Amino acid sequence: MGRFGFVLRRLSHTLPMLLGIVLVVFLLLHVTPGDPARNVAGLRASEQELDQVRADLGIDEPVYVQYASYVAGVLHGDLGYSYKSKEPVAGMIGKRIEVTVWLLGAALLMTAVIGLPLAIVAARRNDRLADHIIRVACLFGLSMPAFWVGAMLLLLVALPTGWFPAGGFGDDTAAHIRSVILPGLTLAIGMAPVLIRSLRTNISNTLDQDYVATARSIGLAERHIMRRFVLRNAASSSITLVAFEIGFLLFGAVVVESTFALPGVGQGLVLSARGRDLPAIQGYTLLFAVAVVVVNLIADVITAIVDPRVEITT
Amino acid sequence: MRTRTLAATLALVLVAVACGGDTAATTTAAPAATGTASAGGGTLTVGRVESFDGWNLDSAAAYATYQTHPAVLEPLLRFAADGQTVEAGLADVWTYDEATTTWTFTLRDGAAFSNGDPVTSADVVFSHGIWSTGFNFGGSFAQIAEVRAVDDRTIEFVMAAPDSILPALLSGSVAGVMPADFAGMTEEEYYADPIGAGPYAVAEWSSGGRIVLERNPHYYDPDRPYYDQVVIEIVPDDNELARLFEGGEVDIVNYVSIATAGQYDDGDLLVTPPSQVSHLSLNATRPPFDALAARRAVAAAINYDSIVDGPLAGYGSSPTGILAPNLGGWAAPTVPYYATDLEAAASELAASSQPDGFTVELIYDAAAGTDALLAQIVKANLAEIGIEVTLTGLETLAFLDRAFTVDADMVLWSYGAISPDISDPLGWIGGTGYLFTGYDQTAFGEQRTNYLTAVSADEKLAAIQLIQNEAVEQAVVIALAVTPTVHAVSPELTGFAPAPWGLYYFDTIRPG
Amino acid sequence: MTAGAITMGEDVTNRVRRLPGGSAKMRVGMGIVAAFVLIAVFAPLLAPFDPLAQDPVNRLAAPSGAHWLGTDELGRDTFSRLIYAARVDIPIGLLGTLLPALIGTLLGLMAGYFGRWVDAIIMRTADVVQAFPSYILVIALVVAFGQGAISIVVAFTVLAWVAYARLVRTEVIGVRNLAYVHAAETAGMSTPRILRRHVFPNVIGQTLVFLPSDVVFATLGLAAFSFLGLGIPAPTAEWGAMIAAGQPHLGEQWWLSTVPGLAILGYGLGLSLIGDALEEAQR
């Protein structure tokens, strides 16, 4: 059964967890002030009219009733309709997912492209100048707020050169690529240092091992050593790290999408939260939760496959 | 292997950068317009911060919505850029009969919906049924006793009392003409995919994303609109919007906030005459501001000059009453407005029931950048006379909740008109519990009715002046400044003609 | 990893003092952090102006002899506000890290040591928290408690304990099965004593390393919340709020946003040096 059973077990934990998350969001939004009926009925509506809107939207029902009907809807694939604009939530979110996937893909790619080589250099030149320079660079990357970095990149790179758009997502694939480079870089600047730190220790430890020395003395090329021993071990810990960082990535997406005018789910969440558009907020919450769970699961499975030393436990 | 992948990625990126899109390397100075050149055609790109409220005319709350609706759902009349007169829209003739207090409107030749159907009086009667039962604006149509279709092209509006403002009311976006019975759709289906007789039809839309409007082939004027397509991008961060404008990716930015105006080239900004009133509302239903002396103390303590010359520098003007200026029917109060006088303020406070000062809470909309600055100035000003103010910046909906329930000691916000007559702000003032103060509206309501039913200009003037005077004397609502609306327009465009409150029509814009 | 854990039983700071490279780093890091703390403590003496004193007509002034870093959007002295902001950012960053560290460590200890359903409950809760879109929680808290330090600290606590719990739990699981812990159990030592005597000291090492960088994250998080309008309420000076308020003026008065960012950077540098030194001491 082994790995398959592991996946099944994890999935069986997942469903109650997702239900739990949606319930918490439900309750939270229920107790926060800010009346969605007001947003729908308009600023001049009277109290009776607001009551009528509440009845129409079904928000005058007790919380557990609303929750139950929402869950029932989700299981049928119905995520409800935006209170204000009456758009179907699934459609709203669907349009935005693509943008965020591009953004996060670019961010992860750049994190790897920046982080891997630097981590290797830092590990091999341990405690020498290159290592210290990289360390300090990491500090900078970690200590700069994402919105500030984004604004700087726009002012100093995008606007003067015109190579990158000042914002937006573009209409075709080439435009999409150009539009996620700077935002992805902004996120990568925050994430790469974390990767570098963790990998550096990992790689440096591996390089110290006896079997590496043996391999070297046999005459194996450095490149092969890297690929065979080092990267394999590094892969599992970096994947775990990425999975752990997914929360940071999603929060970063909120900030970066706002700074670069990318119409992704981060921006969508901010807009729905402002308007107390409960069905939309719940839709995004569900999406975030599913994303985190799935990423964690995949990470665990890949780690188990790649690094056979790791035991599969719940 | 790693190196090859890296090289491939870099190559891909370089290729994308090199051949994608139309933004070639430009200087930072002149933004490149996207809708240019040939006669007729092209795309106009508009950028906004506010989300769109959807196509239900009555539920409009944001300027973004009021401005988009008439492009698709054109009303019977349109407002002129001077903000005081009305022009022909779907109707080109309108007359008033004093004896029967009836307005008669005649639809113009060629008025047609985007599905080809001609606009008939049945559509107008049906639309009125929808407007007058709306939660938000239904009350504005209360003076209309009955609506009759005389023939296919003529409609009579029988008023309950002598009336002079119906044309202004019918030029507002709320009074857009919809097809009878929603052209066979249910109300919900219609709001998802509306059909109107305006210059544009809806190609795609989303409340927080982009809206794409396409030319209505059946529009009554063959010379308008110029642009085949209007794309509206919603960008919640106004600093980013400024960058998009500078990069030439939007042609027009609506409602540039004063705090961000410095990021644009002066030549690109269009500033309307002042029309927005920033106001500090004091809770008149409970201590300490149920006492006139305390209110007058506050009014005298505020440094209006530092507000107008500070954060509003170059854009703000000193207030002269609580009504939005540059509208038909506006008049100034005949009593002098407050002057900043700390000694007078202190003595007013000393004579009040709380001579040692007190602590109050001021709530403001944290999303409104300028309001945050104004709130801090008020706090500093009042500290000088011993009034301690706690600032609570709230998220917009939470703010409105507390404001509408008259729950806070002080409320800071602003408002402006959406149609060319002072009756519009009067409706807003009344509908908000006299601008969130809970103040007794008897006198105000009386004068408002007098204004609406007045026949002569003198009677109207008198009513407005009484309203203004009462407001100044009672100091329940203290106007802090009057501000204009600011818009950024690409210099390659002409025909951008906003009313003082910032609303305009897409179809008058062309390259030039 | 298990072997490494046992050697951590030694006093970490003693080892640090013995390593030449480590102690220099530690000293520099401590020096920087101490400098910031001192600046915060002696702010009233160091700041030339009242950080709240407005002069709206003289707003957005360039740096000059009178105002070393110019004035902000309401004419307040930027330099004074920068100094006073330390009084907000430093304590909140610390509190917002220590509380989750405490709670997380406690929960991690319990999860790792007791295992089974205790472990399951705690870890499932951790999963839920991790999967939760933090933005919603912060909005709910800010709207419920109002803007301010309380909401921020509560938000951090609820969100950040997970990392510590997981870290500690992994270490505890590694240590739990060791012979001497078994011996203590059979000898009848009470659970809290076992935890305190044998398990905790081995585990504290990892947490200590993680703490300084977590303080940096907390401080940056506070800045991000201010950017989204959910941070410390105006007019209190706070580095993140200053960065956010300076955003519309990045072109002309770029120092308004840049200098507070540099302050965060400097403070973060000091903390990270300490973290690095601690990490080196354990290798």
Contact list, A177 vs chain B (CB under 8 Å): 12-13, 16-17, 20
Return the pLDDT at A51.
87
Q: Which residue has the higher pLDDT, C22 or B127?
A: B127
Q: Say if residues C85 and C76 touch (Cβ distance below 8 Å).
A: no
Distance between CA atoms of residues B169 and B175, nearest Å: 8
pLDDT at residue C17 is higher than 60: no
A307 band by pLDDT with thresholds 50, 70 and 90: low
pLDDT at A282: 85
Single-letter amino acid code for the residue at A249: L
pLDDT at residue number C139: 75
**3-state class (DSSP) for residue B241:** helix
For the cut 60, the answer to whether the pLDDT of residue A79 exceeds it is yes
Higher-pLDDT residue of C228 and A156 is A156
Q: Which CATH architecture has domain B21-234+486-511?
A: 3-Layer(aba) Sandwich (3.40)
Task: Report domain B276-483's class.
Answer: alpha beta
- Nearest alpha-carbon partner for A181 in B12, B19, B24: B12
Measured between beta carbons, the chain A residues lying within 8 angstroms of B31 are: none
A139 touches chain C (CB under 8 A): yes
As a whole number, mean pLDDT of residues B250-278 equals 90
Sort out which chain B residues have CB atoms less than 8 A from A84's CB and list them.
53-54, 59, 207
Three-state secondary structure along chain C? CHHHHHHCCCCHHHHHHHCHHHHHHHHHHHHHHHHHHHHHHCHHHHCCCCCCCCCHHHCCCCCCCCCCCCECCCCCEHHHHHHHHHHHHHHHHHHHHHHHHHHHHHHHHHHHHHCHHHHHHHHHHHHHHHHCCHHHHHHHHHHHHCCCHHHHHHHHHHHHHHHHHHHHHHHHHHHHCCHHHHHHHHCCCCHHHHHHHHHHHHHHHHHHHHHHHHHHHHHHHHHHHHHCCCCCCCCCCCHHHHHHHHHHHCCCCCHHHHHHHHHHHHHHHHHHHHHHHHHHHCC
Alpha helices in B384-493 (DSSP H): 396-404, 423-431, 433-436, 442-453, 457-474
For A105, B134, B160, B169, B423, the CA distances from B141, given in Å and listed in that order, are: 53, 10, 11, 8, 12
Flag whether the pTM goes above 0.90. no
CB B48 within 8 A of CB B233: yes
Judged against a pLDDT cut of 90, whether residue B480 lies above it is answered with yes
Instruction: Tell me whether A185 touches chain C (CB under 8 Å).
Output: no
Asked if residues B171 and B74 have their Cβ atoms less than 8 Å apart, the reply is no
Among A67-76, A197-206, B32-41, the range scoring the smallest mean pLDDT is: B32-41
What is the pLDDT confidence band of residue A3, given thresholds at 50, 70 and 90?
low
pLDDT at B486: 93
Cα C34–chain centre separation: 15
8 Å CB contact between B144 and B132? yes
In whole angstroms, give the CA distance from residue C121 to residue B39. Answer: 69
Give the gap in angstroms from C-alpha A16 to the nearest C-alpha of chain B. Answer: 31
Q: Can you give the pLDDT at residue B34? A: 39
Name which of B367, B373, B395 is nearest C73 (Cβ-Cβ). Answer: B373
State percent of chain B over pLDDT 90. Answer: 58
Angle at B343 between CA B338 and CA B347, to 5 degrees: 95
Helix axis angle, C78-114 relative to C255-281, nearest 10°? 40
What's the mean pLDDT in B382-411? 89
> Does residue A101 carry a pLDDT above 50?
yes
- Alpha-carbon distance of A130 to A149, in angstroms, equals 24
- How confident is the model at residue B395, as a pLDDT? 77
pLDDT beyond 50 at B12: no
The dihedrals phi and psi of B76, each to the nearest 5 degrees, come to -65, -35
Burial B38-75 (b: 16+ CB within 10 A, else e): eeeebbbbbbbbbbbbbbbbbbbbbbbbbbbbbbbbbb
Mean pLDDT taken over chain C: 80
Q: Where are the domains of chain B?
A: 21-234+486-511, 276-483
**Tell me, what's the pLDDT at B29?**
30
Residue A167 has pLDDT above 50, yes or no: yes
Rounded alpha-carbon distances, angstroms, from residue A308 to A7, A232, A311, B108, C22 = 16, 10, 7, 80, 35
The values of phi and psi at residue A33, to 5°, are -65, 165
For residues C98 and A179, what is the distance between their CA atoms, to the nearest angstrom? Answer: 39
SS3 B112: strand
DSSP classification of residue B77: E
Mean pLDDT of all residues in C265-270: 85
Of A56-65, A243-252, B110-119, B268-277, minimum mean pLDDT range: A243-252
Residue A90 pLDDT exceeds 60: yes
**pLDDT on residue C195:** 66
Q: C32-71 pLDDT, tens per residue?
A: 999 999 999 999 999 999 999 998 888 889 998 889 999 9
The verdict on a CB contact (< 8 Å) between B262 and C56 is: no
| Position with higher pLDDT, C126 vs B467 | B467
Task: Provide CATH code, domain C36-282.
Answer: 1.10.3720.10
- Work out the percent of chain B whose per-residue pLDDT is above 70: 92
Q: How many CA atoms lie within 13 A of C145 on its CB side?
A: 18
A89 in Cβ contact with A70 (< 8 Å) = no
* For A175, nearest residue in chain B (alpha carbons): B20
> Which 3 state secondary structure label does DSSP give A269?
helix
Considering only alpha carbons, which residue of chain A is nearest residue B434? Answer: A44
Residue B15's pLDDT is 43
Residue B413, SS3 per DSSP? strand
> What is d(CA B164, CA B85) in angstroms, rounded to the nearest whole number?
12
At B86, is the pLDDT very low, low, confident or very high (cuts 50, 70, 90)? very high
The pLDDT value recorded for residue B442 is 93
DSSP B317: B
B36 vs B341 pLDDT, higher one: B341
Q: Does the pLDDT value for residue B149 go beyond 60?
A: yes
How many angstroms from the chain centroid is the CA of residue B127? 22
Closest partner CB to B372 (pick from C54, C75, C234):
C234
Classify strands B486-489 and B252-253 as parallel, antiparallel or unpaired: antiparallel
Between C181 and B424, name the one with better pLDDT: B424
Residue A308 has pLDDT above 80, yes or no: no
Q: For the sheet containing B200-204, what is the strand order?
A: B200-204, B211-215, B229-234, B43-48, B252-253, B486-489, B269-271
Check residue B11 and give its pLDDT. 42
Q: How far apart are CA A268 and CA A262, in angstroms?
A: 10
Give, in order, the Cα–Cα distances in Å from A301 to each of A295, A311, B188.
10, 11, 46
What distance in Å separates residue A49's CA from the closest CA in chain C?
25
Other beta carbons within 10 Å of C27: 14
Tokens for C166?
A: 């997981």
Mean pLDDT across the stretch C88-102?
Answer: 91
Please give the pLDDT value at position C283. 57
**More confident of the two residues C3 and A267:** A267
Q: From the CA of C121, how many Å to the nearest CA of chain A?
A: 11
CB spacing of B377 vs C248 below 8 angstroms = no
Residue A145 pLDDT > 60 = yes
Task: Measure the CA–CA gap between A238 and A206, rounded to whole angstroms.
Answer: 14
Task: Note the pLDDT of residue A303.
Answer: 67
- Tell me whether A284 touches chain C (CB under 8 Å): yes
Q: How many CB atoms lie within 10 A of CB B379?
A: 20
pLDDT of residue B32: 33
Give per-residue pLDDT as tens, C234-263: 889 998 888 888 878 877 888 898 888 888
Whether the per-residue pLDDT at B108 is higher than 80: the answer is yes
**pLDDT (tens digit, 9 = 90+) per residue, B429-454?**
988 889 999 999 999 999 999 998 88
Residue B185, phi-psi category: left (phi > 0), alpha (psi -120 to 50), beta (remainder): beta
Segment B108-117 shows an average pLDDT of 93
Alpha-carbon distances of B244 from A166, B138, B235, C144, C227, rounded to whole Å: 5, 38, 9, 35, 20
Question: Residue B115's pLDDT band (boundaries 50, 70, 90)?
Answer: very high
Q: Residue C261 and residue A140: Cβ atoms within 8 Å? A: no
Identify which of B262, B373, B393 has the shortest CB distance to residue C233.
B393
Q: Mean pLDDT of all residues in chain A? A: 80
Question: Which letter, b or e, does each residue of B76-103 get, where b requires 16 or more Cβ atoms within 10 Å of its Cβ?
Answer: bbbbebebbebeebbbbebebeeeebbb
Indicate the pLDDT class of residue A223, thresholds 50, 70 and 90.
Answer: confident
- Which range among A34-48, A222-236, B450-464 shows the weakest confidence by mean pLDDT? A222-236
DSSP annotation of B351: H
Candidates B491, B501, B426; CA nearest to B67 is: B501
Nearest chain A residue to C139 by CA: give it.
A273
Give the contacts of B183 (CB within 8 A, at least 6 positions apart). Answer: B113, B115, B117, B190, B195
Distance CA A143, CA A136 (A): 11
Q: Which of C142, C154, C272 would best serve as a mutation to test chain A binding (most A beta carbons within 10 A)?
A: C272
Mean pLDDT of the residues in chain B: 87
State the Rg of chain C over Cα. Answer: 22
In this model, does residue C1 exceed pLDDT 60? no
